[in-house]
Amino acid sequence: MPGALMKLLRKNQKLSTKKLNFVYTGIISVLGFYALFFLFPLLYAGFLSVTSGIPGESLSFIGLENYRYAFYEDSLFWVALKNTLYFTALTLFPTTVLALLIAAGLNRAMKSRSILLPCYFAPQLTALVAVAVIFRYFYDPTVGLFNFILSKLRLPQFYYLEDAREAMPSIVLMCIWREVGWAVVIFLAGLQSIPEQYYEAAQLDGANRWQLLRRITLPLLSPIILFYVILEMVWCFQIFDPMYVVTPQGGPLHSTYTIVFHIYRNGFFYWRMPYACALTYVLFLICLTATIIVLRIGRTSWEY
Partner 1 sequence: MQTKKNEFIGRDHWINQIVKVFLYLLLVIGAVTSVFPFLWVIFSAFKTSKEIFQVPPTFFPHQPTLRNFYQLLEFLPYGRQMLNSFIFTTSIMVGVLFTSSLAGYIFGKFDFPGKNILFLLILVTLMIPFSVIAVPLYLLISFIGWIDTYQGLIVPSLVSAFGIFFMRQYIHGIPGDYMEAARIDGFSEFSIYVKIILPLIKPALAALAILTFLFHWGRLLWPLLVIDSEVMKTLSLGIAGLTQARAARYDLQMVASCGLILPVLMFFLVTQRQFIKSVQLSGLKG
Q: Which of residues 214-243 bind partner 1 (CB under 8 A)?
A: 227-228, 231-232, 234-235, 237-238, 240-241
CA-to-CA dists, residue 101 to 17, 113, 207, angstroms: 57, 14, 21
Distance (Å, rounded) from C-alpha 12 to C-alpha 44? Answer: 42
Phi, psi of 146 (to 5 degrees): -60, -50
CA-to-CA dists, residue 100 to 106, 221, 224, 249, 260, angstroms: 10, 10, 11, 36, 29
Query: Of the candidates 7, 12, 20, 64, which one interacts with partner 1 according to CB under 8 A?
Result: 20
Of 175, 259, 183, residue with least CA distance to 224:
183
Query: Of the candidates 97, 125, 293, 295, which one interacts with partner 1 according to CB under 8 A?
Result: 125
26 CB-near residues (< 8 Å, 6+ apart):
none
* Residue with Cβ nearer partner 1 (64 or 122): 122
* Residue with Cβ nearer partner 1 (34 or 72): 34
Distance (Å, rounded) from C-alpha 132 to C-alpha 88? Answer: 17
Query: Of the candidates 62, 82, 94, 124, which one interacts with partner 1 according to CB under 8 A?
Result: 124
Distance (Å, rounded) from C-alpha 105 to C-alpha 98? Answer: 11
By the rule CB under 8 A, 42 interacts with partner 1: yes
Query: Of the candidates 100, 172, 175, 276, which one interacts with partner 1 according to CB under 8 A?
Result: 276
* Residue with Cβ nearer partner 1 (90 or 283): 283
Of 262, 270, 229, residue with least CA distance to 243:
262
By the rule CB under 8 A, 260 interacts with partner 1: yes
Query: Of the candidates 105, 195, 219, 223, which one interacts with partner 1 according to CB under 8 A?
Result: 105
- Binding string, residues 157-196; x marks residues near partner 1 by CB under 8 A: --------------------x--xxx--xx--x-------
> Least distance (Å) from partner 1 to the CB of residue 244?
7
By the rule CB under 8 A, 3 interacts with partner 1: no
CA-to-CA dists, residue 295 to 38, 138, 159, 237, 301, angstroms: 26, 38, 39, 16, 10
> Least distance (Å) from partner 1 to the CB of residue 68?
19
By the rule CB under 8 A, 62 interacts with partner 1: no
> Least distance (Å) from partner 1 to the CB of residue 109?
6
By the rule CB under 8 A, 74 interacts with partner 1: no
Percent of residues in the chain assigned helix, strand, coil, to nearest 5: 75, 5, 20
Distance (Å, rounded) from C-alpha 180 to C-alpha 83? Answer: 21
Query: Of the candidates 7, 12, 27, 93, which one interacts with partner 1 according to CB under 8 A?
Result: 27
Query: Of the candidates 1, 8, 110, 127, which one interacts with partner 1 according to CB under 8 A?
Result: 127
By the rule CB under 8 A, 18 interacts with partner 1: yes
By the rule CB under 8 A, 122 interacts with partner 1: yes
Contact 188, 114 (CB under 8 A): no
